[in-house]
Structure 1
């Protein structure tokens, strides 16, 4: 029975095997879980993050299990570094099939605290980081006449939450950007997916500098959060669909999450 189930899973994920997937924010949480899952299904993963030691360790773990992985130290706010990341993926593996723009920050605070440095951080990472990923990968995908952008928004890209005005603004913008990208890349057979997670157990809440808001948010999230591999399965689903199917948007929450 177990062997039959394993054969079914392999058949169901046959469109993942052999693809070259670049993942930003791969040092923890959503990116790390996605790298592990896609690698287990036969994808080659290119891991990007600022925490070099973590992505190096993850790459070695994946290679130790027979997978293919490359770690590239990358700050997504640096356009040149993101271009180097994608160019290195193409130079090493010959192509880039999926660009997962996953890196993100969520330092929640009310506007009247005037944490303008945190506003700049969120705009630079959550929005400009996605733009940098698109700028780096799009020319390669246009030349290939194929590819897939997966951009990460949030439930907060669909609704406003308390103390999350700037974060929500960046995630609304990612959805708008993804839809505009989808419309523009049709001549090149490129697919575009935006994924909006609800409460997921990651390190994202560590970015909240206001101790009271952090404690309250953690108290809520810890009760209902789903594991990071939930997101990874959403990514795998979108990638695994046949080339003529474009899964444009996925919004998911824990069943217990009311808003």
Structure 2
């Protein structure tokens, strides 16, 4: 007759389970500081389970041309320090040593960040470097952004200089981009430059639409250029085959 030796395991008292941390939650000031998602949770079996959230799920994906790399951040900071401490000569040195070493998307990101911060003269310097890159492909939207920040800062000569570049660029058809460009120019009183862009958009096969003529007529009339506005009204009627009712008195 054989006997099987079994090991006796005493039952775990219910009052013990889950008391390592959870039973003292309300009395322990240190534990009350622990985020709710980190605190132990009692399961159906009476066992305390500690869970932690994956914070990586809350991070937004990096987008090219928008978020700055470490090199991009360093370039922006170096340019701003140079402008304050050493003037344009110091800025030129930082552009040569830091900006020109940036890869394509970092350079675009630096330009956008400087524009966002209202650093007009620094943005202009980086824009000049951007145009020299072999991969640079001119886009009207880039011109709109740089012209806007220059105009807001009162750098009107730079605005005219940037607009002169448009005459030498090989631009893709972009009626919407030209519309925004002309609207920006008219808002800051660049009537003749806006009209030059209007003629230029036709050269690059960006056909004016109804919105184009509305922007021009409204801007010209606001700036007091009544005669030019009348001429544009007539041209709009010819191009569209009908008068613009929005502007009919």
Is TM more than 0.5 here? no
TM-score under structure 2 length normalisation: 0.30
TM-score under structure 1 length normalisation: 0.29
Larger-Rg structure: 2
Bigger share in strand: 1
Bigger share in helix: 2
